[in-house]
Each structure stands twice: as C-alpha cells, then as structure tokens.
Structure 1
C-alpha cells in the first residue's frame, strides 16, 4: 500500500489512492461457481445393482464393447436417488478394469418409477426400480398362504407406475389356487402357474415366462418364501440367488434376497427385489387406485362427480352395480378389497 500526502504536506489524503490488494481464495485460486460442467464426453450406462454407495453399471449395452463398470455418485446428485434400472451418464474411468471408478453425473429421464412407502401413513416415497414396464407378482398357493390384499397393493402400485402386471402362482401342487385367483377374475392380468412334478421336483413355467419377459424390463416382487428367487434362478442360472425356506411355526418366509439386482434374460431384463411382508401406498393418489380395478372402473363411469366409492357414498354406481350382481359372485370381494385400500389411504 502506498502512503501519499497532498500538496500542503499533511496526510489527510493518504488513502485517496493506493495499490489494492486482493484477498486470496482460501480454497484455491479458482472462483466458486454454481455452473456445472456439461460433461459432453459422458458415456451412458444402465445401473443393474446398488451396494453401499457403489453402483454397478453396464456400459455400451448391446455392443461388442459391452462391459461392467463401478461408479460413485457425483456430489451434485447427493439428494437424488439412483436405483436399479436407471440410465445414467458416466465420466472418469469407465473401463471397468479392477480398481477403476467412474462417476455418475446425470440421471436420464425415467419412463416409469415403481415406488413404495414404509406404510400407508408415510408420504415419503422410496423408489424401488426405474424404467421397468412389467411387474411379475409371485404368490405361493400355500406355504406361505396367499394374501389377496397384498396382491391388491402390488396391482395398485403397478398401475400407478404404468407397469403391466403378470401374476405367477407357485406351489400349486400343495393347494388349488382357483379360489385365490377368483379374487382377480375381473382384472386384465396374465396368470402363469408352477408346481411340483411326479418326481417331487419343481415344474417351473420358464418357457412361458421367457415368452412373456422377452423384450421387456420386468420387476419381480413377492412375499418372502413364495419362490421368487427360485424362479429367477431357473430363468437365469448364473444368478445363483439365495433361496430360503418357510418357518414351519410362523408360516412366514425368510428374507434371503437383500438387494435389488437386474439380470439379462434374452433381449429383456428381470429385476429381482427383496421379499416384503407389506407394501405401503402412502405416496399414491387415491384417485389412481381405481385404475387397478378395471372391472370396477367400468361401473364408476356412471358415478356422480366427486364420488368416494366408500360404503357411505350416495348413488355410487359401483356399489349399486355390485349389489345388482353385475360383477358376479366375486363382485363383493373386489369391492371390499377396493374400499379397504381407499380407507387405508384416507
């Protein structure tokens, strides 16, 4: 700094002119900015599993250069969920060589999102899978006993997310699933079954399922112990998913799958998810539930505006139609299931 005096000899103007000093940036010489790099050199990959902050990503999918890479999340994405099925943009070392680590800098727009909440009162959604277009709902005919209400919830979540449902009934050698399937007779749901053969071994509908899964990204869901991992292993032998047994005292299955992971099956994908005993729908708009009950939705076209479809709703065309027998013997069961879901979200 220069100390200057004016013409009269005093120093009252000593600060009138001086050499300015710039305070150094404590974090370096580069100015901070909110402008993020465009990452024009990023490559696209598919997230096929997530494990403790590390993402396994398939790079150059469908080409001779296809390979797996390990990635971490960029700091700008710390508040965004990255899930199995996401298409992401990667930078850094995407070679996939041992010890290499790339970075996910963008999540590409999702076509679908399958979500669940901890319970019906929890409005915080948890994204399970992205970009699936089908849901394979696996249910055992017995051991553990099938739960129609849980299947209803899966159907609501599927229709809410825009996924086409497929219902697979396992262990049909232990019980006749006809009564259980009657609960869904009015829905447009594809059904496949499996059981044990004469030698006691499982007869799995792998040929039919391969046909249904071809060209699709399908998320498999189901109660613990229903045989979901057994199906996945039959469809993808190299998957080697752990298989649990049902507790003979409680009748409940053990949680054997602890992660959500994608497996290629032909030109499609199957995404295996951990078994659950509940499926919260706190994130679902009650108005969307009706879409999963297509048989009731047809009757609802004649409902008055603002109809809640609950038991005390006046002039509800669904209630009147079911009472008149328009949906046959299963109409009351379908309406009961529908109203239970509406009441749990109210």
Structure 2
C-alpha cells in the first residue's frame, strides 16, 4: 500500500494528537534571532540624507563618498547626519551603486529639539558633534538672547561644547552680549561681513561642529566662507527682519583645514520638552552636589518657584559666584518657559 493510503484502514476513533502532523504556515515557523555579523563592514560617517538614502564618507574621508540605504535588520533605527555607521555591499561609490547600513554606533553627543515645549517627541538633528556653534547676528536681525539660552540648554544636555558666534559686528557692537554671557566661560567669536572669519576657522579645525541659528543671521554666508565649495545659497533678509530659509536639511561639509561643519536648517522653533533641569545643572559642576540635596521635583529656580532649592547654599559658602548662579537659573527659566518675553525671543 502506498504511504498516502496507509492510514485508510485505521480506526479513527483511536487516534490521538501524536497521529496528527501539522505543517507550520509561513507566519508561524520559528525564526532565528541570530543576525549576520558583517565582519567585512567598513566604517563611515553620515554626511547627508535625502528620501531614504544616506550619503556617507568612508572613514571620514571626504574624497570617498558612498550612497547607502538602511538594512532591513535595522528596522526603523534612526540614522542622522554625524552618525558613525558600518556599511556592507557595494562601497565603491560609483554611480548607481548602493551600500547598506547594517550598524549604527553609540553616539557620543546629540543635538536634539522638539517642535515646541509641549511636544514630547524629540528629534535628533545632529549626532557626534563635539561643538555647537550658535550663530547670532548683532543687528539685522537683532540678537535674541532667548534663542541663545535655549541653544545653550540643548548643547549642555546633549554633551556638546557651546561656542557663541556673533556676526555683523560692523553693524553693532558686541559688548552687551559678551557681558551677558561672561559668567558661562563660553568661547565667544566675533565676525564682520567685510573680513574673513579666521578665528572661527581655527576654532573649527579638526572638529565636528554643528551650526545653528535663525534664518538671516549670516549662517549660510559664514559656511560659504569656511567652505568655499559649499555652494549654499545666501539668504536675503527681508524688510521685516525675518530671513527666508535657505538650508532645508542638515548636511556635513568638509573643512579645508580638517574637520566637518554641519550646516542645519534655519530654526524657527526650538522646543526643550525632552530636557530635565538636572541635565542643565550637570554642566555646572559646582552646583551638582547641592542639587542632589534638593527636594524631589525641584526645578532649581529658587524662591518663589522652588523655595527649598539648595543651590543658594553654594553661593553662600563662596564656592560659586552670584552671577554664575544667575546664569544657570536663566537657562533653567528658558527651559521651563517661565519668562514669557524671553521665550518669545527664543521662538519665532
């Protein structure tokens, strides 16, 4: 008797589950959790993104550019400009070739923002930058200290060193802004339209630096001077003092002296919903220990908002200056959105 008909003479009333053979469907077959090791993968830095394709620089060499897609095993893992990734496949960089991103390395720093202060969804703008160059015009449009404060908060919380760049000093003096941020011991660079930004170029040498600033402050003009081949359109400031957006996506550009500058889109909002007060305090080492003694939920703003805040004791015992604490609390207030006039300066 053939195997197909072997069971025809059986007593079906005596069968049990051991006699039933079920072939698993495609959706129920066990899948291995093992993933390819990709031992032959090469390391690259993401320097641009456009519609599901990432432009990568092999080993950080601007002469070796490869276009890649995200491998299926990464799922929806976010990949942003500045990320260090591993590539497999065709990494020749020839036209119409496509590599695959199979790994994203842990990030050393992140520049993040939310759409506004009520939006819980944070967006990583740039990864692994060592510095954040905050570009602010001294005139046309006028400087906005609220925006500077918010950018400082994002830098401190994300692990980037903030550097303030004041442009258009041929139109207005920088003294007032420099004095306002003196207590932060932050590098401040001053440029003018009729001179080359040599100090800025030296500061950016061999670093990965993210640039941030409102439209019209001269950010794209600065980038064009730092990277002559950047081919970025220069924004034209309108009569009402608001520049139109000239950069639409973040892109990393190689500096002639070494390093990268990441030009980000013109910012119209800079929400900080993802940042906690202690993230900011961590950038002020002299206050960290006292902050640990504060009541639970303390915003470290002092009286009347936080009457039990212990940060005042650091100034009282001479371990920090009053100006230093005032600077810290100004940043905390900007993060909390308590100073409405300052908040309006920070967000268009």
Q: Shorter-chain-normalised TM-score: which range?
A: 0.7 to 0.9
Q: Which moved more, 1:114-123 or 1:127-136?
A: 114-123
| Cα distance in 2 between the residues matched to 1:5 and 1:14 | 13
2:153 is aligned with 1:156:
yes
2: CA distance between counterparts of 1:229 and 1:277? Answer: 15
Shift of 1:23: 4.8
Match of 2:116 in 1: 119
CA distance in structure 1 between the aligned counterparts of 2:331 and 2:243, rounded to whole angstroms? 24
* Kept in 2: contact 1:139–1:168 (CA 8 A): yes
Match of 1:137 in 2: 134
For the structure 1 residues 177 and 37, does the alpha-carbon distance in structure 2 shift closer, same or farther, using more than 3 Å as the test?
Answer: same
Instruction: Count residues in correspondence.
Output: 325
Deviations 1:278-318 (A, max 9, x none): 211111122122345x4xx7467667522533331326465
Equivalent residue for 1:239? 230
Alpha carbons of structure 1 residues 52 and 22: separation in structure 2 relative to 1, 3 Å? same
Is 1:221 aligned to 2:212, yes or no? yes
* 1:2 and 2:4 correspond: yes
For structure 1, the residue ranges without an aligned partner over 5 or more in a row are 197-201
* Equivalent-residue separation in structure 2 for 1:259 and 1:4 (angstroms): 69
CA contact (8 A) 1:5 1:13 kept: no
The residue aligned with 2:41 is: 42
Q: Distance in 1 between matches of 2:30 and 2:144?
A: 60
Q: Secondary structure at the match of 1:289?
A: helix
The match for 2:195 among 197, 203, 212 is: 203
Moved over 6 A (4+): 13-16, 19-22
Q: 2:126 and 2:217 mapped to 1: Cα distance?
A: 21
Query: 2:131, 2:160 within 8 Å by CA — same for their partners in 1?
Result: yes
Unaligned runs of 5+ in 2: 340-348
Aligned partner of 1:73 among 70, 73, 85: 70
Where 1:115 maps in the other structure, the secondary structure is strand
Q: How far apart in 1 are the matches of 2:330 and 2:110?
A: 28
Cα deviation code 1:227-261 (max 9, x no counterpart): 11111110100001111111212x11111000111
- Take 2:325 and 2:104, find their aligned partners in 1: how far apart are those partners? 43
Do the aligned partners of 2:53 and 2:68 also contact (CA within 8 Å) in 1? yes
CA shift in 2, pair 1:334/1:308, >3 Å:
closer
Checking the alignment, whether the CA contact within 8 Å between 1:4 and 1:13 is kept in structure 2 is no
Measured on the aligned residues, the alpha-carbon RMSD in Å equals: 3.3
Q: Take 1:194 and 1:147, find their aligned partners in 2: how far apart are those partners?
A: 17
State the distance in 2 between where 1:291 and 1:14 align: 75
Distance 2:75 2:119 in 1: 22
**1:115, 1:162 → 2: CA distance?**
11
**From 182, 185, 188, the counterpart of 1:185:** 182
TM-score when normalising by structure 2: 0.82
> C-alpha separation between the residues in 2 aligned to 1:248 and 1:20?
82
Q: Does 2:263 align with 1:263? A: no
Deviation at 1:208, TM superposition (A): 1.2
Which residue does 1:341 correspond to in 2? 335
Q: Aligned equivalents of 2:6 and 2:328: distance in 1? A: 92
1:168/1:193 contact within 8 Å kept = yes
Of 268, 274, 291, which residue of structure 1 is paired with 2:265? Answer: 274
Q: Distance in 2 between matches of 1:37 and 1:55?
A: 21
**8 Å Cα contact 1:46-1:57 kept in structure 2:** yes
Distance 1:149 1:11, change over 3 A: closer
Within 2, Cα distance between the matches of 1:117 and 1:125?
A: 5
Query: In structure 2, do the counterparts of structure 1 residues 211 and 39 end up closer, same or farther at CA, with 3 Å as the change threshold?
Result: same
1:199 aligns to what? Answer: none
Post-superposition offset of 1:132? 0.7
Are the equivalent residues in 2 in contact too, given 1:125–1:283 (CA < 8 A)?
Answer: yes
